[in-house]
Structures are given as structure tokens and as C-alpha cells.
Amino acid sequence: MLSLQHLKKYYQTGDTVTKALDDVSVNFRDREFVAILGTSGSGKTTLLNIIGGLDHYDSGDLIINGKATKNFQEQDWDAYRNNTVGFIFQDYNIISHLNILDNVTLGMTLSGVDAATKKKRAQEALTQVGLKDHIHKKPNQLSGGQLQRVAIARALANDPQILLADEPTGALDTQTSQEIMELIKKVAQDRLVIMVTHNPQLAEQYADRIIKFSDGQITADSNPDEEALPPENFHPRRTKMGFGTALKLSFTNIKTKKGRTFLTMLASSIGIISIGVVLALSNGFQKQIDATQTETLAQFPISISKVTSDPQQLQEENSHSKQNFAKGHQIKAHVVPVNAAQHQNHLNAKYLRYLKKIKSSDAANIAYTYATGFNLIRSVNGKYRPVSFAVSNSDNINNSQNLMAASTGVGGSVYPVKRDGHSSFLRKNYRVLAGRYPRKASEIVLIANKQNGINLDALKNLGFQFHNKEVLDAPKLLQTAIKVVANDDYYTQLPNGNFMPQRNYQQMAQAPHTQTLKIVGILRTANKNSDGLLAGGIAYSDQLTKQVMQTNRHSAIVRAQRASNDNVLTNGQLTATQKEMFLATLGAEKMPSAIQIYPKSFNKKDHITHYLDQYNRGKKKADKIIYNDLAGNITNITGGLMNAITYVLVGFAAISLVTSMIMIAIITYTSVIERTKEIGVLKALGARKKDITRVFDAETTILGAGSGILGIVIAWLLTFPINVLLKGMTDLTNVAQLNPVHAIWLVIISTVLTVLGGHIPARMASKKDAAKALRTD
Ligand code: ADP
Ligand code: MG
């Protein structure tokens, strides 16, 4: 069965060399009960550990079933320990956090025996050692003798060919010792039992053969085996522990120290909590911003003006100007970037037709602004006098349309008439404060700001004499009538050919082409988050502009101005551009000076810009129509800012994750130290290095996932008080919202980091010398 040939094992400590085994040669039979007798320190345990494959010899050979072990690999020894040998120790080495049954099945678990067989065999083994009635007890509920019986059952469960017992009765009283010896003697009937003892009486009484041992050498052998070695017959199966077994082992271990585990998880969840809260906040803020943006910015039009700057070129020009100093001293003329990037949009009939084809599901409204001026008069205190829609400063300066209108001196805001015949621009974006919505081109409205204020400037230009903060009489305002006078009635031609505004306003008011406009409503923006799309003051439909143009297009002053290169009012000289602009003001313009396309929603805006981009594809630069998407620019800026803030905060929070990782490493290390014995037992049962690593990896997996889940739950719970707090501070509801996807990722990250942190101590554990591990107390 076993043959030891010239085995040597020396221990070097400092300068002294201990010869634990000093050239030991001995053979053992397949079935016998061998007692090894010797004083303490004579090398008995070393011998047993080497026979059991827990420790390795320095030289010589150990022949098992005819197989030399000189070239054994680690996994060969693992398989040998698991399949061929069973160990019994003086201090039982029962794993205290597993119950009796699990202790006994552990070896079989390692060799991959199925659950049912495992249980059956364990019960048989426990019955055999007389513990049938104690199967479900915990180790701490058993006496020493009973524990040693469990150890014998564990050693026998895998039906090993060799049973190694290291002073099995050393810690037991005489009575119990005898019972255990009886048991071992019975077991030895069908296998080789090698028992180490320093008790000669027990050896004499029970063993078949006594080998005396002293200073690492055999001094006597009562029944030496001189037979020739049998042929090789060694077939151990490889062992393998599943991750499930490792998890179970770790889980039962963790259960025995619930308090400590909870505190560990709590401490290491702090990083996850802080990241969770930061993400929940930024997530919520982003959602709020998105919602506000879709609500507010979606209404902002895409605008096309006659003169615009090409953003792409502007960027290029700017990047040029950031270059280094010029080499040499040559001096050049230079156009500033803004001017260089200036682009003339040549709006034409073809482009207008192209715009008409924008789906009304993408843009319900398109406003065309013309530079046409209105000749306005109003009766103030019974006398007509000229008035104007103009405002010098608007409440909201974001609006390019109104800036444009103000600069041409026309004044007032132009709102688009509905394209699809269903939704009206005003109905969608404005609420009535007084009066009603307009129904025809001649019905105009006053736009108030969010505090119901109407621009005093606009009112003064309309001929009213209010002062600041004055409360206005809405019904009275709604009775206001304003007259638009045709060019031919407004201007009179002098004998020298020049034109001059008439002063007979009373007569103008009665003229047949004069149209009466009525203020029918006072409106306010419907959107809490926006100042509205129209500037405060008068707003009218683009239909009205078209009517006025119709009337004035062929007026005498227009015809005269067309024919002359001098200003027909002042006689001053005009450049071509100035002439064009003046003609436009007089109502001779065919093309709009600006176009506003109002997208139906934020997403629809992309359809529109895509459609507009398509027009420019393949066109020469001069023929391109460049549009301006103010809302698009704002979105990009706020989105980027939010991300940047989130990254910084998550970065800070991540530092605590690293702290947790280090803490887990320390805790795993402590656990490794605490469980040294268990590591030894697992190795004695045939566990591979990998399996030991796995046990601790499993433990850190549980810890990591646990602290991740705990952190997520706490972070989620924290969002409630945070939201209450933010609601009180900012009036925003439900800002902190934990995204489930983030939650899952955080648990995964926590698990992975914890396992990483614990992996080095776990590797250390796997490298522990089994023989040394079992020697520790
Ligand atoms: P026994 O079991 O007969 O008491 P051991 O086999 O435990 O004897 O020890 C034999 C000798 O080897 C002792 O002198 C012991 O101190 C020494 N020894 C055992 N293990 C080690 C070790 N890891 N390092 C150094 N010396 C050791
Ligand atoms: Mg010993």
C-alpha cells in the first residue's frame, strides 16, 4: 500500500537544523492498525503530514499503491488527500460554523459527489460512529468525544484507503479514549490506519503493529512489512469545489458574525451611498432641465435672417486669431472674425416654397417678418395724431425677431397665422388676461409680461400717458382703435417731385383705404418658465403685414423711390443697400427680412434643422441659407455643464470607494487569520489552492454585493428627505431620482471592487502551508 523510502525532512530555524525526519524507510500493508509511538518533538506529526500529503518531504520517495510521488503536482496531492486519505486530529478540527452534517459532507462536496449521495453517506458514517441522533446539532453542542466521532465520520465519509490519526485521544479522558480506540480499531478492519500516540498502553492494547520513533528515526518495528511492492494501482479523481459551495461556506461563516458583517457593509457602503445620491441628484436635475428645456426652448423658433453669421466660419476665424505671433514684420489689413463670418442669406421664392413643404406635424407655425412700416394714427383726446408700435427696449432681449423689428423701426411683434388650420400660435403659447384672442388681421393684442406689466414705452408710443406702476383700466384699453393709413393718403407729392408726410390726420382717418385696427385682448405667456416668444407691447398677425404691403406696394412714393437714387423724402443720396432698405420700409419688399419657424416639440426641431440642412447640401457657399438655432445652442451648454459637475462629484465620492476597498482588504486579511485552521482542514480534505481563494472571494462577493445593495437602499431612502429639503429650498419637486440602471451598476461596481480588495488576502490564504495551518491554535 504505502512505502516510505529514505524520507528526509529538515527544518532550518536560524542556525539550528531540526531533523524531523532523518532517513525514514518503512512499508505499510493495505489493512493494518499501526501505532507510531514516540516522545513529543520526535517527528511523528511531520511523518503523518508527509504521508497524508499535507507536507512535502525534502528527499527520498513516498510510494502510494506502487506510484512514486516524487514528481507529483499540486493537484495530484490535492486529489490524493481527497480520495485516498482521511485525517483525524487531536483537537478534532471541526469547522464550528457548519453543522455536523455539513462538516461530514465537506470532503465529498470537494470531490463532486451529488447532494443525495452525500447526505446518505454522511448519515451512514455518522450512524457508524454512533451519532445518529445528533446529526442536526451544532459543533458547540457536542462533547469532545462526540466531536472526535464527527471527525472520524468526516474522515470515513469518502471511504479512504488510509486513515491518519494524530493523537486522536490526546484531549480525551480514559473512558472516552477507549471508546474512540474501539471505533478506530473497527475502522482499521478494512483499511490502513496509522495512528500517532505517545501513550504506550493504548498502542499495546489496540494496535496490530507498533513503530517506535525517536529523533526523526524509526528505532523499533513490531511487525515490519518485507513484501515486494505491488504493481502500480493509483487512480485518484481530481477534486473541484464549485463557487456555490464556496458561497455556502462563506455564507454560514458570515452568519456567525452578523454584527461585524453588518458594520463592515455599512462602512463600505458609504462610497456607494454618496455616489448614489450624487447620481440621483444629477439625474433628477437633468430631467428637470430637460423638461424645462423641452417646454421652454421647444417654442423658440429657428430663425433665418437676411444677414447672419456662419457659426462654422466664425469658429474657424476665431481659431485663426488664437495663433501665435506672426513671423517677420510684414503688416497686413485684416477683417475681424465676426465680419469675415458674416453671411448674406439670399432669400428667394424657391426657398419660400421649400419652407412651405415643412410638415405641419413638425412646425405648426412659420412667421414671416417684413420690414414694411405702418403709417399709424390714433385719436387722443378727440384729435388724431401719429403713433407707433415701436418699443426701444423689450422685456426679453433673447428674441431675435423682436430685436430685428425694433431695429427697422417697425415695432410690434409679429405672430404667425396657423398653417394647419387647427392650432393657433397664440392659443398655444398665450393666455388671455383681458378681452379675447384675435380672429382677423385687423384685431391686434397687447402682450403683458409675467407680472401682468405692459411695457410703458410701448404704451407711450401708442399715445398713452401712463406713469410707472399705474394700474391700468383693461376694458378702456380694449376700446383702443388705431388706424393704418395707406402711403398714398399719408404722403403727398410736392411740385419738386419730393414726398412729404401730410399733417391732416383727421382727413386720413376718413380716407377710403384707411384700415382700423382694434386691440381685442391683453395676453400673457402660458409658460411659467419662459418670458414668452413675443416682446411686450403690440402684437399682430403677419396677415396684417401682408395686407399693408398689398396696399402700399404700388403707391406713388414707392414708384418714385424706385425710379430715383435719392431719398424721395429728404433728397439725400442713397447707396444701393440703403435704397433697398428704404423701399422695404415703404412696403415694396417681396421677400421677408426674417423667418421664424416654430417647431412643435423639441424632437421635431431636429427634423426641421435636418430638412433645412438638406437644402444647403451641394450648394455654393453664397447660395446657402444659414439658420440660427438659439435653443439648440443653450441645450448643448447646459447639458455639458451638468455632466461636468456630476463627474467632479462622482470623482470625490469614488475616493470613499477606494477607502472601502482597502478596508475590505484588511477585513478579509483578518478573516484569513481567523480561519487558518479551517483552511488547513479544507486542504486536508483535498481542497485546491483555487478552492481556498474561492472561499474568500465568495465571502468578499457577499460583502461587496451586500454593501452595494445596502448602499443603494440607503441612497434611495435618502432621496426622500433630500427631496423634501429641496422642495422647501427651491420649489422643485422630486429632484433626486435614483435611476435603476445606475443602481444596478453601483451594486456591480461595489461587488467587483470589494472582490478585488479581498483577492490579495484570499490568495495569501490559499498559499498557506496546510501543515503549519493545522499546527496553529
Ligand atoms: P511530534 O509530532 O512528534 O511532537 P513534530 O513532527 O511536530 O513532532 O516536530 C518534529 C520537530 O520538528 C520538532 O522539533 C519541531 O519543533 C520541528 N518542527 C515542526 N514543524 C516545524 C516548522 N514548521 N519549522 C521548524 N521546526 C519545525
Ligand atoms: Mg505531534
- If the chain, 777 residues long, is cut into consecutive pieces of 10 residues, what is the mean pLDDT of each piece? 93 92 94 94 94 93 92 89 91 90 88 87 92 90 93 92 93 90 92 93 94 95 84 78 83 86 89 89 79 68 84 75 78 82 87 90 82 90 89 56 44 71 71 91 90 90 90 90 94 90 91 94 82 81 87 92 90 86 86 85 85 92 87 62 79 83 85 86 89 89 93 94 87 84 93 89 87 81
Confirm or reject: Cβ of 324 under 6 Å from ligand 1.
no
Q: What is the DSSP letter of 532?
A: -
Residues 198 and 262 in one domain: no
Domain boundary pick from 632, 657, 689: 632
What spacing in Å lies between the alpha carbon of 217 and ligand 1's midpoint? 13
The grid cell for 301 is 423658433
> Phi and psi at residue 541, in whole multiples of 5°?
-85, 155
42, 46, 214, 215, best to mutate for ligand 1 pocket (most atoms within 8 Å of CB):
46
User: What are the DSSP calls for 566-595, one per residue?
Assistant: B-TTT--B--HHHHHHHHHHTT---S-SEE
63/194 same-domain check: yes
Does residue 491 fall inside a structural domain? Answer: no
Task: Please report how the helices 115-128 and 100-110 are oriented relative to each other, as an axis angle in degrees rounded to 10.
Answer: 130
Give the number of the atom of ligand 1 that is nearest the alpha carbon of residue 198.
3
Atom of ligand 1 nearest to the CA of 39: 3
Q: Rounded CA gap, 500 and 291, in Å? A: 54
Closest CA to 527 of 719, 294, 323: 294
Q: Are residues 30 and 107 in the same domain?
A: yes
Give residue 621's pLDDT.
87
Residue 568 lies in a domain: no
- Predicted local confidence at residue 203, as pLDDT: 92
Cβ neighbours for 755, distance < 8 A, ≥ 6 positions apart: 697, 700, 701, 704
Asked whether residue 610 is domain-assigned, the answer is yes
Q: Hey, what amino acid is at 248?
A: K
All 3 cell numbers of residue 409?
Answer: 423701426
Q: Give me the CATH number covering residue 77.
A: 3.40.50.300
Of 583, 612, 632, which residue constitutes the final position of a domain? 632
Check if 772 has its Cβ closer than 6 Å to any atom of ligand 1.
Answer: yes
Q: Which atom of ligand 1 is nearest to the CA of 40?
A: 4
Domain count, the chain: 3
Based on the domain organization, do 70 and 217 belong to the same domain? yes
In a shared domain, residues 193 and 85? yes
Q: Tell whether 210 and 266 lie within a shared domain.
A: no
What pLDDT sits at residue 718? 94
Residue 284 is predicted with a pLDDT of: 82
Tell whether 562 is covered by a domain.
Answer: no
In order of 307, 312, 335, the CA distances from 343 in angstroms are 6, 11, 14
Ligand 2 centre distance from Cα of residue 40 (Å): 6
pLDDT of res. 287: 78
Q: Is residue 398 part of a domain?
A: no
φ, ψ of residue 687 in degrees (nearest 5): -70, 140
Same domain as 616, residue 728: no
**Contact 11 CB / ligand 1 (< 6 Å):** yes
Residue 517 domain-assigned (yes or no): no
Instruction: Provide the domain limits for residue 122.
Output: 2-239
For residue 580, tell me if it sits in a domain. no
214 and 270 together in one domain: no
Query: Which ligand 1 atom sits nearest the alpha carbon of residue 38?
Result: 3
pTM above 0.85, yes or no: no
What would the grid cell of residue 3 be?
512505502
From 7, 11, 90, 775, mutation site for ligand 1 pocket: most ligand atoms within 8 A of C-beta? 11
The response to whether residue 9 sits with its C-beta less than 6 Å from ligand 1 reads no
pLDDT for the residue 719: 92
The CA distance from 291 to 167, in Å, is 77
The verdict on the CB of residue 44 being under 6 Å from ligand 1 is: yes
Instruction: Give 21 Cα–ligand 2 centroid separation in angstroms.
Output: 13
Whether residues 25 and 95 fall in one domain:
yes
Residues, CB within 5 angstroms of ligand 2 (ion): 45
- Please tell me the distance from the alpha carbon of residue 20 to that of residue 11, in angstroms, as a whole number: 7
Domain final residue pick, 604, 632, 660: 632
Q: Are 635 and 599 in contact (CB under 8 A)?
A: no
Same domain, yes or no, for 206 and 134? yes
* Number of residues that this document lists for the chain: 777
DSSP bridge pairs for 414: 540
692 contact partners, CB below 8 Å, separation of at least 6: 679, 682, 683, 762, 765, 766, 768
Rg of the chain's alpha carbons, rounded to an integer?
48
Q: 49 with 165: CB under 8 angstroms?
A: no
Residues 651, 619 share a domain: no
162 lies in the same domain as 280: no
Centre of ligand 2 to C-alpha 38, Å, is 9
Q: At residue 78, what are phi and psi to the nearest 5 degrees?
A: -60, -50
Cα of 45 from ligand 2 centre, angstroms: 4
Does 611 reside within a domain? yes
Which bound ligand lies closest to the C-alpha atom of 49? 1
